[in-house]
Amino acid sequence: MKRIYILGVALGILLISSSALSAACVGRFVNPISDICWRCIFPITIAGMMVAKGEGPRDPKSLICNCPSPPRIGIPISFWEPVRLVDVTRSPYCMVNLGGLRLGPAQGIRGHGAVGHASKGHMQQSFYQVHWYVYPLIYWLELLVDFICLEKTQFDVAYLTEFDLLWNDDETSFIINPEAALFGNAIAQAACAADCVAASSGFSYDALFWCGGCQGSLYPFTGTVSAHSGGVQASLLLTQRFIAKLHREGLLWGYAGVKGLCDKYPMPIIRKSQYKTQMTYPVPATVEGCHPLGRSDLLWSAGRNYPYKGEDFGYLIWRRRTCCLL
């Protein structure tokens, strides 16, 4: 009888452990209709005139535009396009925006772990992995057929930081961001306070490319958050860092401004005003809408970071696009 009892206890512990392991990866599929804040596509300008109001940077005000390849004369148009999805997850290989699907074993891969407690003047720290999806939603849903300004690609899982040694090591990451040494001082970081104010009232300063607005510093381009004040803050900061990292690696280009009228162009240093973010998980921000990079999350993040199912995050990336429309 005693052996049966011990066996039952062991089996119960095993089941509980297995359940905990299987539940470690959480998420939900993004509904391309109900989970999207469609008003984030605004403002729309045509020939320098605003035809639909919204929050966005200034656009070219010329009436016509011309492009050499392919040769065409058209009208400048600008709008916001939903183009990418991002997971920010504690659990390696956990695809948050794919319903919590796990692509591989987490053993041996650095995860979030326990957040270090603030003590003796030290800030809390954390670490997350990031996944990047190609998600050309407007083209995918065929809302605008044969529209020359849209990115015509298919849904794809494009990048997982679990395979990126630079994302997991702060020192090694200096290979792609050696200038980080210039901004690790009080004067450079004090400028980020102004960036926070600018982002909270509009868009952050593109000239302060080392600042992540109210979320912290964009350097280094790794998954370590040295000043962790909350899951939403940390995940927004890492989303910004990852976008900046992809620009540095030549995987993201410029699409906004006069230079973007005819085609995309190299942009090794991120132009923060080209992007907005919208939360898709754990609670889709369909009412609160999109936010420029660096804007404070204090006014909308309540109830979006809670134990177990609310500690991983998903975001939809909106990209500003200017185009010479035939």
* 180 part of a folded domain: yes
> Is there a contact between 166 and 222 (Cβ–Cβ < 8 Å)?
yes
Give the domain range for residue 157. Answer: 26-325
* 314 part of a folded domain: yes
Q: How far apart are CA 146 and CA 157, in angstroms?
A: 24
Q: How far apart are CA 70 and CA 240, in angstroms?
A: 33
Average pLDDT for 82-97: 95
**The predicted structure's pLDDT at residue 100:** 93
Structure letter (DSSP) for residue 100: S
Joined tokens for residue 149: 């300004």
260-281 as b/e: b if 16+ CB within 10 A: bbbeeeebeebbbbbbbbbbbb
Asked whether the predicted pLDDT for residue 111 surpasses 50, the reply is yes
Asked whether the predicted pLDDT for residue 147 surpasses 80, the reply is no
Joined tokens for residue 261: 């009228």
Tokens 């005819």 belong to 262
Structure letter (DSSP) for residue 153: -
- Calculate what percentage of the chain has a pLDDT beyond 70: 86
* Burial status of residue 306 (CB atoms within 10 A of its CB: 0-12, 13-18, 19 or more): exposed
Q: Which of 242, 105, 98, 55 is nearest to 167 (CA)?
A: 242
**The predicted structure's pLDDT at residue 12:** 39
Asked whether the predicted pLDDT for residue 167 surpasses 70, the reply is yes
Instruction: Work out the mean pLDDT of the chain and round it to a whole number.
Output: 85
* 4 part of a folded domain: no
SS3 12: helix
Asked whether the predicted pLDDT for residue 96 surpasses 90, the reply is yes
* 16 part of a folded domain: no
Length of the chain: 326
* 194 part of a folded domain: yes
pLDDT tens digits, one per residue of 218-251: 999 999 998 898 999 999 999 999 999 999 999 9
* 283 part of a folded domain: yes
**The predicted structure's pLDDT at residue 118:** 55
**The predicted structure's pLDDT at residue 9:** 35
* 66 part of a folded domain: yes
* 115 part of a folded domain: yes
CB atoms within 10 A of CB 175: 11
The helix or strand, by DSSP H or E, that contains position 253, with its residue range, turns out to be strand 253-254
**The predicted structure's pLDDT at residue 15:** 33
- pLDDT-derived band at 152 (thresholds 50, 70, 90) equals confident
pLDDT tens digits, one per residue of 188-199: 888 899 999 999
- pLDDT-derived band at 122 (thresholds 50, 70, 90) equals low
Compare 271 and 8 and report the one with higher pLDDT.
271
SS3 130: strand
**The predicted structure's pLDDT at residue 248:** 96
| Number of domains the chain contains | 1
